[in-house]
Chain A
Amino acid sequence: MRLVRIRFEKTGRSKYISHLDLTRCMSRALKRAQIPIWYTQGFNPHPYMTFALPLSLGIESLCESMDIKIEGEMQNDQIEESLSKVMPEGISVYSVYDAKMDARKIAFAQYDILLELSSGDVDNFVYSAKALLDCDELIVEKLGKKGRKKVVKQVNLIEHIKSQKITSSEKQVKIMVQLSAGSSANINPNLLVDVLIEKIGVEPESVKIIRKSLYTESGEEFL
């Protein structure tokens, strides 16, 4: 039995598939592709699957990661080929390999945030966003857990931004940002978008968020 890591993109319409729905969708894809996957041994066996860092509804990603356990002989390139053929629109497998790192090592995620604005608002937005991100503090409220209870926590986003860069074109602002990710501190990029929109007071025409890559504490790419 091998622990195999499947890396895939989730783009376009498939960003509306929730994490729970994605699990079901993947287990069906594995069945269609006839991957000899290991089932949990219980009263109600189900395919073993774990996902590195669940993606929020509405966010696209170029770096999703799912682990499965393989029984039997199937090679990784063969798994990649079979799976690629049966994926629904928007979900595409780009790499399959034996898991190298523990998913708990993930510490940061790189996002591209694309904001479409009316051309008159672009400069103002870039200027204000840069100013806000240069401060020492950008406090947002985040729903967290305290034991079983849900509580609202105050979080200083600046402490969770490892790097950021803002560029713009005629009608678009692009924020490239590396945010804390993983089990200890996970920052949803929507928190950043919402607070920027609120503070700057400009409502974009559209917001598109793409997760580009995952990194460990030491800055290595997650593999």
Chain B
Amino acid sequence: MLNKQVEKILPLVQKPARYTGGELNCVVKNKDDIKLRFAFCFPDTYEIGMSHLGMKILYSLINDRKDAWCERVFAPWIDMEEQMRKNDIPLYALESGDPISEFDIIGFTMQYELSYTNVLNMLDLAKIPVFSKDRAGLSQIVIAGGPCVCNPEPLADFIDIFLLGEGEEITNELIDLLIEHKENNSTKQEFLKDACKIQGVYIPAFYDVLYNKDGTIKDVVAKQGAPKKVKKRIIRNLDNAHYPSHFVVPFIETVHDRAVEEIFRGCIRGCRFCQAGFIYRPIREKSAKVANEQCKTLCDTSGYDEASLCSLSTSDYTQISELLNDMLDWTKDEMINVSLPSLRIDNFSDELIEKLKLIRRSGLTFAPEAGTQRLRDAINKNITQEEVLKTCNKAFEGGWTSVKLYFMLGLPTETMDDVSGIASLAQMVVDEFYKNPNKPKGKGVNVSVSASSFVPKPFTPFQWEPQDTAQMLIDKQSHLQQSITTRKIKLSWHDVSTSVLEGVFARGDRKLCSVLYTAWKKGCKFDGWDEHFKFDLWQQSFEECLVSPEFYANRKREFEEILPWDHLDYGIDKNFLIKENQKAHSATTTPHCRQKCAGCGSNGLNGGKCDAIG
């Protein structure tokens, strides 16, 4: 419900429907019938947050409980924040319109390092103290999950509880425990001491970090009975796991505004730069039958005219053919488009392309990631130039005329030859189009090259690698630009300073908490949005806090060094990562998990089971 104060400011802001709630399928409960209120906070705009599958899953999971009510909260855009502060309106949840300071659990999903300032800003806007130590009671428990919490240390001073890994089971366990402690009138300390016994719960206040003189970590000491190492949680069987039957259907257009069906978790590929490829292991597939039924239900209850399959690599799904057959049966009649993101070049089969022709023809996007074979081998992106060209040819014959190619600059071992290799590969794709006798008639070709900057991430074989400095990245960008000689190729790249900051926070430790706080106090927020990114304020903050960003971003770590996330266990064996790192430096590839198990150790999380090896 909207209160009068809010109604008054809505006409003054852009896209007021971001702040009204009341969308189809949103869940409204009676406050008196529930024991616990959960504010699910996404630290970015409504349009981005509403596209996030994890939030949809947990929203529906919590609201399936009779005793709890989960509501959605997004970061208000600058204009709305200004009005809210001016009119003294605290941050409220969309379903009830109640201030989230009244809630028991404030849960953030951490998808991106550059949204950290928004977490502080949202707490502040809610009139909730930003520091964990300043929140004493058994309500306003601030928790966080999502991929970024695999190294949550830069947020350690602000968050009470981190949930590592997949949230379906642990969220319910934590809610149960909090309800119990609320009924017993426990203290927050008593609750936290019990909570840390749940697998996957990491309470940063229960760990002391000791540093060496050079600033590296000497030791991390667990206290209050907290486990020495916290192990992430996974769902063993996706067919039985909770999946929403209803999505909240937004009125305004969001980034991904469609039915989404998750088909598997984990990835068999082991690309060495890719954090998702490691932290979501082991691979677990949903059966085609369940996926098809769930997707049909979602379309029926939402009225969406587009359904998308979601995973890290759609074409690696072993039942893709079966699933598409089942889906095309009903989607065709109901005028629903099926979209398949995350296709790989090497197993883009003729059969798949035939099916894709029945589906809507949008652009094709491939990610060779690096310009030369040597570098692709080093990062274990196991695709060859021939495969790239062959697939593009197939696509041209299938009527496509535009291809998007994704690359990264700043990968470990990269030379300027690798950089110009990106331009040559794109050029070969252009040439291939004109050589192809079966190309679409009367049309030119369009190759878009997107070059992002590589950021080394925890739990990858590159977690020890120095990140390229901003200057190195700028030099590579301009070298690439000069290497492109045709207008058929369009080049785009990312701002390097955001990549540098992302790199600092991705592998940072607790000393960054003060930098984060200082930068936020100076007015940093929405750092992921170029128009709001204030690098000068960040630089001032680093200086004031006597913290060197280079120490985190550009320093090479030795394998022996204790890393800030070493007391967190994501199931990946450190020796495996070391071996993979060494293989990268000798440009040796590792076969994917279905060809040969590489021994990453993650099947230990799943009772020794991994869907890649049966």
Interface residues of A (CB under 8 A from B): 12-14, 16-18, 21-22, 24-25, 27-32, 39, 44-45, 57-58, 86, 88-90, 205-206
Contact = CB atoms under 8 A, between A and B. Distances in A.
Given A25-B24, A206-B4, 11 more contacts: A13-B2, A25-B249, A27-B303, A28-B24, A28-B249, A31-B304, A31-B305, A32-B303, A45-B335, A86-B24, A88-B23
Contact of B305 (A13, A14, A21, A27): A27
B614 interface: no
Given A21-B251, A88-B22, A16 B301 contact: no
B300 A32 contact: yes
Contacts of A206: 4, 7-8
B82 interface: no
Interface in B1-47: 2, 4, 7-8, 10-11, 16-17, 20-24
A13 B7 CA distance: 9
Contacts of A25: 24, 249, 251
A151 B303 CA distance: 40
Interface string B324-341: 000000000011000000
A10 to B, nearest CB: 11
A17 B251 contact: yes
Given A14-B22, A45-B335, A57 B304 contact: no
A27 to B, nearest CB: 7
Contacts of B335: 39, 45
6 nearest A-B pairs in the assembled complex, by CB-CB distance:
A28-B303, A31-B303, A32-B303, A13-B22, A88-B24, A16-B16
Interface residues of B, number: 26
11 contacts: A12-B22, A17-B251, A24-B251, A25-B249, A28-B24, A32-B300, A32-B303, A58-B10, A58-B11, A206-B4, A206-B8
Contact of B20 (A16, A22, A44, A86): A16
A191 B41 CA distance: 38
Contact of A57 (B16, B21, B253): B16
Contacts of B23: 88
Nearest to A39: B335
A32 B305 CA distance: 10
Given A21-B252, A24-B253, A16 B10 contact: yes
B365 interface: no
Residue among A16, A24, A39 with max Cβ neighbours from chain B (10 Å): A16
From A28, A30, A90, residue with most partner B Cβ within 10 Å: A28
A31 B300 CA distance: 8
Nearest to B249: A28
A12 B10 CA distance: 13
A197 B524 CA distance: 38
Contacts of A24: 251, 253
B302 interface: yes
B22 A90 contact: yes
Contacts of B10: 16, 58
A206 B11 CA distance: 11
Nearest to A44: B360
Contacts of A13: 2, 20-22
A18 B250 CA distance: 12
Interface in B291-350: 300-305, 334-335
A18 B17 contact: yes
Contact of A16 (B8, B17, B24): B17
A32 B302 contact: yes
A57 B21 CA distance: 16
Contacts of A86: 24, 303
Nearest to B18: A16
A62 B246 CA distance: 29
B22 A21 contact: no
B20 A21 contact: no
Contacts of B303: 27-32, 86
Contacts of B304: 28, 31
A89 B22 contact: yes
Contacts of A17: 17, 251-252
B11 to A, nearest CB: 6
A27 B303 CA distance: 8
Most buried by A among B11, B16, B251, B360: B251
A21 B301 contact: no
Nearest to B336: A31
A210 to B, nearest CB: 14
A130 to B, nearest CB: 26
A12 B7 CA distance: 10
B78 to A, nearest CB: 19
Nearest to A87: B24
Contacts of B302: 28, 32
A27 B300 CA distance: 13
Interface string B432-462: 0000000000000000000000000000000
A83 B228 CA distance: 57
Contacts of B300: 32
B331 to A, nearest CB: 12
